[in-house]
Structure 1
Amino acid sequence: MSYQQITTNKKIIATLLVLLSISGCENAGTQTPKQSEPSVSQTQDVFENEVVLTQLVNTQSADYLEWVASNTSHFSHDDKSFTIGFLANENISKMTIKPNKPWDLTAYSPYNLAFDIVNESTESVHLYLSLENKDGDIQSRSISLPREFSGTVYFPLTGKEAETETGFWGDMPPWNTQDQLMIWRSWRAAQVDLSQIYALNFFTIGLLDDKQVKISDIRLRENPASDPQWMKNVLDQYGQNARVHTPLHISDDETLLQNTKQELAALDSAPADETRSIYGGYKNGPKLEATGYFRTQKIEGKWWMVDPEGYIFFSHGPANVRMANLSTLTGVDFKDDSVRHRSADELTPEDSMGVVTVSEKVRESRYIASTLRHDLFSWLPEYDAPLAKHYSYRRSTHKGAMPHGETYNFYRANLERKYGESFMDKWYDVTLQRMKNWGFTSFGNWVDPNFYDRKQVPYFANGWIIGDFKTLSGKVNHWGLMPDAYDPVFAERAKATIEAIAKDIKNSPWCAGIFIDNEKSWGEREGSVEARYGVILDALSKNAQNSPAKQAFTGYLKAKYSSIDALNLAWQTDIENWQTFENGVEFESYTQAHVDDLSMLLTRLGEQYFTVVHDTLADILPNHLYMGARMANWGMPDEIIKASVTYSDVLSFNIYEDGMQDHYWQFLEQVDLPVVIGEFHIGTATDSGMFNPGIVHASDQADRARKYKAYMQSVLSKPYMVGAHWFQYVDEPITGRAFDGENANIGFVNVTDTPYPEMIQAVKEVTSTMYQNRLEK
């Protein structure tokens, strides 16, 4: 029985896609590019004669209807398919299919999951699908479906293509097919067992408008034969996709130089915006008190930043404008351990390190640590070549195919190709010109300190509190363990970090504010007790002699409860005495009183953290705004928001959704503090040549620009918003940034330092009117 009819049109499109792809690349370095061998089935869609192993959901039968739950979406069906209406008045609009018995897949291998789908919306829809096992663990994937899309989407679940740790997030499409690959959104290291699937969850996040899709024929298919050229010769000498030529593709140095000449001429001839102050404030708005530093003020019910000259200021610009974290692992490592040495008093985390020079002596111990990674490159320079200066080293990684290893920065190499020996100085100058020409008012977080003394664009300084202090573990630690803010060493390291920031910014009025840390794993805002209060439960499990947080928490609880019996009564536990409690306790169930106490302790932990940071900043950098802790959607418990309100000048959230939904963020109106978005972005894996769109997906560059404008409108309409920072300035490496494998199309410029014209036009449309529009509303 055939569950998928392949049309003649599908064959034609698949053939055209192959004809557009390019294997190999031109040589621009000292090493001859590796030649690709012919791929299997290059002219045939591998799923033209798909083999269906089993049907998971037969949409032509009504039996599955009792499996459906759609409390936060609209569900309807006919005799061939079902329709999901995703709702903008829900932050997560979801439809779940949970069969009476789990789908047992143990008899099949290797396989991919596929389904047919039609986007019935008037715009693209960013669709998520998570697969859930018996323990509630999930693997999540997503895709942007263009307006009026009709076709098949799929992803491999087992086999080489699903299980290989490539060292980057969005994988290279494994087969030649018109079927659309859903993007992996989970860590392979999590090793979620999906041999039995207990539920399928279709959902959207943070919609600004309702969306609707029609789905049919959810099935398990046999994987085609592996392509022997998969994951080989992926990059050309410019760090571009070697097999797909995009509209911005660079074929040779001459083209790169000609494009650069044209852009520089346009920047040099562009007129300045006379409505902007020297700091980017709006001169046609109300003139306020000039204090010589950035501050905040509420004016006629709206929060604003105010620049040092007293003009209203809205902070908008790119974050992560630096060379750090733009390199990718080459697959090479060194046996000489000296290259991995780190000092206990370091203040810069590994992912923020600049170029690490590897000595000739260390290079004598060179070896190929990952053949898979090394085969990704059709070109890398010899160590004695001019472009070899762009090699570096990662002493440790957060996730990926290698724990440490050699890296190469193609973006930096392309800057040298464009600008010559003084490429970094020219890059600083051109970046500042672009910032002003595009209408941005500031940099965001993580900007190269070399911009500080140029005093042309305001910036936000940042620091990480790292060191040998005690830590706490949540159920999930996204970017690392939580610091134990009660540990005196934490306060010492906070002081050292902020003193280093002060040395860099030199009390400059161009520093608009200070960010300390980023996306800490405080716990989930919703979910199980363990998910919400994991860091507190971890502290309670520790011996108080070894945990400052446990000592503090024990003191709080002793003050609240007159005896251990009183605590046992409230928590329904049988802890023998306070000594037993101090030695460490764990729990299997929780009363409401117990949960309330965990909530109280999380609030106390947050207050301790923010007190240390706030007081240290106030002592060392009293003239600059404390911008808060840059909380992520997944790490902003109400308790921590409450604590941050007391100690932050400006609240900061990283919001990766289609936009700021009015209903979901309405609580910030009651908080009544200015708010800035520390990170947001939108990307695409279609006409960018990239494999991973980023966190928020668009269907192409034009749709990316549309979604950016809609996002910014949702921000500018909020009375409490004073800024929004896009993450990041440059696309991430296609083969994954070395630290954790992120490889998204999230830059305003690509790897050859070429601006995306659709995005730049959209930015100019927003920035040229943002002050006027916000003042009028």
Structure 2
Amino acid sequence: MKITGRNADAKMVAVHASEGRQSLQVTYGPKVENTLTLTPATPWDLTGRGDVNLAFDIYNPGSVSTQFFFTLTDASGRGQRRTGVIAAGASVTFYAPLTGYEGNVITGLRENPPGWQSKDQKLFWRNGDRAANMAQIKSISFETEALTAPRTLYIDNVRVRQSPPADPFFLTEIVDRWGQAAKEEYPVKIHSDAELKKAAKMELAELAASKGAPERSRFGGWAAGPKLKATGFFRTEKVNGKWWLVDPEGYLFFSSGIANVRMANLETITGYDFGDPAVRKIDPEELTPEDSRDIVPVPAASVGTRFLSSTLRRNMFQWLPTYEEPLGEAYGYRRTLHQGAVEHGEVYSFYKANLQRRYGAGYMQTWRQVTLDRMKDWGMTSFGNWIDPMYYDNQQMPYFANGWIIGKYKTLSSGNDYWAPLPDVYDPEFKRRARLTIEQVGREVKSSPWCVGVFIDNEKSWGLTDSVAHQYGAVLDALSKSTSDSPAKAAFSRMLRGKYKSIAALNAAWKTSFGSWDEFDAGVRVAAPEAAQPDLSWLFADYADTYFRTVREEIRRVLPNQLYMGVRMAEWGMPSEVTQAAVKYSDVLSYNIYREELHPESWGFLNKLDRPTIVGEFHIGSATDTGLYNPGLVLAVDQKDRGRMYEIYMNSVLANPMMVGAHWFQYIDDNVTGRAYDGENYNVGWVTNTDIPYPEMRDAAKRFNYTLYSRRYGKTK
């Protein structure tokens, strides 16, 4: 077997062995990607043994917890990636089910509960192909990401085990009447309505006594700091080498907040559907995606056509109300889903039902004020993105408005269309939809000075940057279409015809053999795009410029005093052409950065751009003390560790002179049975599904937020 490392040094040592006399000591470097790979002389065959799981032992000698990733790759390149976290000083056996029902059942959850009882820790599914060939495994790897200091792990006893018989009821009645994990106990679990109301009463008293963070201006800025020019709205300014937001009164402002404070996307699939096709009707003029809308009630005329569509999903719940009960108003319907066990169906919001139980009559207004009071008490300076418009006129907490440009415009595929294909920005319908969307945002914001700025769209699949074909996938897709069917192809063809006076000249540059411009206009495949890279970059830059210019012009027309916050790019999709267009048109650059902290290897380029920048999303989660079966994207071992990691992340943002804020995603935990849209069942909330705050997160927020301004600015007289 061959052992190789990339930013990872490995050696066999005679310590910390769980089996035999030696273990593999692996020291990972302070890099973004650190990988140790084990490759056999011939592929491993993991089949022929019944249902199996792969297990290994890890010891962490360090002083902090460490998240790692485990990847299996078959001979054809298909992989499965999982992740786990090990506490400081801990020795743990981890395992991954490879075959059998437990390892492959599609439930609509990002991670299922364990199929059998074990003291070992099940790895959390991250991504990959569940059809990977277990008879032809060519490598396994142990990885870490975005470390800012070296970390060492000891790995031993990698083995394939026969899986014990799965509990036939491991997916049955896993959720109680409050939407909690029925078979788990954890510190913040509620056991009765009376307990829920008692917790609410105690918290309301604590919030009433709270004075919040000191030295705050009316808009949450630094009242004790220097006062700059006041414009009546938020703006940006660089002060002493650091970018800042400036609040409407002229005080320095740093946006520390929580995103996704809303009722949208909090429901879970119940397993029921309706025979009446009217419930699935979609108005093509809708401006808000389904996962960003509040609960859409099932029409009364359709309720009688209800039928069981998924026994698997229905059996997950110990209790669901009738439609006639007061708690029945938390039912709704989803016409489309991103992924899951069904394509559409009935949904239920346990969170909304718990608010009704917790606060009684007028519970939505009470929830609104409690949330505002929490933000003040926790020291938050603003909300993040995706805030329910019911908060837009709150006059207590600044916020960011948002909109999505959806519709029936033409699209392009980058080849990595995780959430959706890219819009064809040259299509007049895209421009019409952009106008309608931003006009709707304008009607909601009403030019309020409390609105810092506007985010439009999110994590678009611009393209991966690991190859020419991936980076310019959207352009190559456009070129494969005809000019009569694709406005983007027509625009690109005009640009190329203007540059190359003959098809022969283009062929010479691209090393292609197109017969004529007519053949080119009909649709062509560029099998080897490397020679065309300069032109592909030029075309893609025009595409990105058109997208950002279109959005900015509409925001300036409708909301001239609000900042354009960009599109919140994901770290996995940041082609340079898109970045340059964002720099040109955005008032603030925005990125979603799911790491333990900002890593200079990934984000050092911000210093060269020298533009105010904000983190639109990040989170950290735990599955050991929450009742949830998946921690999220960045892992902590428990809530105490989660609070520690939150402070480290925020301090890394605070120390970056380009950063003007960071927004945690999200306010409320996901459902145990997964959010309806895509099954995410993460511990990403500051409050549970019963609206109980995590004390460790609340305390960590106060430690960071109450002194953030003086630490960001530096020493003062």
**The TM-score by the shorter chain falls in which range?**
over 0.9
2-side partners of 1:108 and 1:472: how far apart? 45
| Aligned equivalent of 1:619 | 557
Q: Does the CA-based 8 Å contact 1:681-1:728 persist in structure 2?
A: yes
Pick from 145, 160, 178: which aligns with 1:205?
145
Give the Å deviation of 1:738. 0.4
Equivalent AA in structure 2 for residue 756 of structure 1: Y
Task: Report the AA paired with residue 597 of structure 1.
Answer: D
Report the alpha carbon displacement of residue 561 of structure 1 after superposing the two structures with TM.
2.5
Q: 2:24 aligns with which of 63, 79, 82?
A: 82
- Once the 2 structures are TM-superposed, how far is the Cα of residue 535 of structure 1 from its aligned partner? 1.5
What residue number does 2:18 align with? none
Partner of 2:579: 641
Match of 2:596 among 647, 654, 658: 658
Which of 423, 427, 452 pairs up with 1:512?
Answer: 452
Q: 2:81 aligns with which of 127, 132, 140?
A: 140
1:255 counterpart = 2:179? no
Contact kept? 2:86, 2:92, Cα under 8 Å: no
Asked if 1:488 is matched to 2:428, the reply is: yes
In structure 2, distance between residues paired with 1:560 and 1:134: 44
CA separation in 2, counterparts of 1:655 and 1:502? 28
- Secondary structure at 1:154 match in 2: strand
Contact 1:106 1:196 (C-alpha < 8 Å) held by counterparts: no
Q: Does 1:70 align with 2:5?
A: yes
The alpha carbon displacement at 1:193 in A equals: 4.5
Show the 5 A alignment for 1:245-284. 245-284=185-224
Deviation at 1:603, TM superposition (A): 1.7
2-side partners of 1:530 and 1:176: how far apart?
Answer: 46
Q: Which residue of 2 aligns with 1:102?
A: 43
Does structure 1 retain, via aligned residues, the 8 Å contact 2:295–2:331?
yes
Aligned partners of 1:729, 1:193: CA distance in 2, in Å?
A: 39
- Aligned residues of 2:327 and 2:353 also touching (Cα < 8 A): yes
Letter in 1 for 2:637: S
Structure 1 segment 188-587 matched on structure 2, within 5 A? 191-525=131-465, 527-587=466-526
Contact 2:29 2:151 in 1 (8 A): yes
Partner of 1:171: 112
- Counterpart of 1:213 in 2: which secondary structure? strand
- Match of 1:601, SS state, is helix
Q: What are the Cα deviations for residues 39-82 of structure 1, in whole angstroms up to 9, with x where unaligned?
A: xxxxxxxxxxxxxxxxxxxxxxxxx2xx2221222222236321
Shifted more, 165-174 versus 722-731: the winner is 165-174
State the shift of 1:101 in Å: 2.6
Amino acid at match of 1:421: A
Shift in Å, 1:584:
1.1
Note the C-alpha offset of 1:274.
Answer: 4.4
Alignment of 1:131 onto 2:66 = no
Paired with 1:301 and 1:520, the residues of 2 have a C-alpha distance of 31
SS at match of 2:452: strand
Contact 2:213/2:705 (8 A) holds in 1? no
Contact 1:732–1:744 (Cα < 8 Å) also in 2: yes
Deviations 1:187-231 (A, max 9, x none): 66x744454222222211222332211112222222211211111
Q: Assess if the C-alpha contact under 8 Å between 1:208 and 1:658 holds in 2.
A: no
**Contact (CA 8 Å) 1:541, 1:585: kept in 2 or not?**
yes
Superposed CA offset, 1:588-633 (max 9, x none):
3233x32232222222211111111111111111111000110001
Which structure 1 residue ranges, 5 or more long, are not aligned? 1-63
- How far is 1:271 from its partner? 1.9
SS of the residue 2:224 aligns to = strand
Q: 2:57 aligns with which of 111, 116, 122?
A: 116
For residues 471 and 488 of structure 2, what CA distance do their matches in structure 1 show? 17
- 8 Å CA contact 2:81–2:128 kept in 1: the answer is no
2-side partners of 1:465 and 1:375: how far apart? 37
Which residue of 1 is the match for residue 541 of structure 2? 603
1:41 maps to which residue?
none
Indicate the SS of the match to 1:634: coil
Which residue does 2:608 correspond to in 1?
A: 670
Which ranges of structure 2 fall in alignment gaps of 5 or more residues? 14-20
Identity %: 48
Matching residue's letter, 2:252: I
Task: Give the residue type in structure 2 aligned to 1:129.
Answer: F
Looking at structure 2, the residues matched to 209 and 507 of structure 1 have their Cα atoms a distance apart, in angstroms, of 46
- 1:137 partner amino acid: R
- Offset of residue 587 of structure 1: 3.1
> Hey, what's the Cα distance between the residues in 1 that align with 2:291 and 2:534?
37
SS where residue 225 of structure 2 aligns?
strand
The partner residue of 1:590 within 513, 529, 535 is 529
Q: Distance in 2 between matches of 1:201 and 1:523?
A: 25
Does residue 703 (structure 1) correspond to residue 603 (structure 2)? The answer is no
**In structure 1, how many angstroms separate the alpha carbons of the residues matched to 2:202 and 2:620?**
27
On the 8 A contact 2:47/2:134 being kept in 1, the answer is no
Decide whether the 8 Å contact of 2:481 with 2:489 is kept in 1: yes
The code of the aligned residue for 1:729 comes to Y
Deviates more, 1:77-86 or 1:545-554: 77-86
- The whole-number CA distance in structure 2 between the counterparts of 1:76 and 1:444 is 45
Distance in 2 of aligned mates of 1:284 and 1:210: 39
Residues 1:717 and 2:655 aligned together: yes
Moved more, 96-105 or 416-425: 96-105
**What's the CA shift for 1:129?**
1.3
Give the C-alpha shift of residue 759 in structure 1: 0.6
The alpha carbon displacement at 1:272 in A equals 4.2
Structure 1 position 148, deviation (Å): 1.5
Whether the 8 Å contact between 1:114 and 1:155 is mirrored in structure 2 is: yes
CA distance in 1 between partners of 2:128 and 2:35 (Å): 22
- Say yes or no: does 1:688 pair with 2:630: no
Q: Which residue of 2 aligns with 1:730?
A: 668
CA distance in 1, matches of 2:501, 2:36: 48
Distance 2:239 2:52 in 1: 59
Residue in 2 aligned with 1:61?
none
Per the alignment, do residues 104 and 187 of structure 1 end up closer, same or farther by CA in structure 2, a change over 3 Å counting? closer
Q: How well do the aligned residues superpose, as a CA RMSD in angstroms?
A: 1.4
Find the aligned partners of 1:556 and 1:108 in 2 and give their Cα distance: 60
Deviation of the 1:108 alpha carbon: 4.2
Amino acid at match of 1:730: I
Specify the alignment match of 1:767 in structure 2: 705
Paired residues of 1:339 and 1:395 also in contact (CA < 8 A)? yes
Contact 2:439–2:558 at 8 Å: present in 1 too? yes
Instruction: Return 615-624 or 314-323, whichever deviates more.
Output: 615-624
Is the contact between residue 79 and residue 128 of structure 2 (CA under 8 Å) also seen in structure 1? no
> TM-score, structure 1 length as denominator?
0.89
Show CA shifts across 1:471-501 (max 9, x none).
0112221111110111111010000000000
- Residues 676-707 of structure 1 show CA distances to partners (whole Å, capped at 9, x for unaligned) of 00000000010111101011000111110111
Superposed CA offset, 1:541-567 (max 9, x none): 111110111111122222332322222
Residues 141 and 182 in structure 1, CA contact (< 8 A), matched pair in contact too: yes
Cα distance, 1:98–1:576 mapped onto 2, change above 3 Å: farther
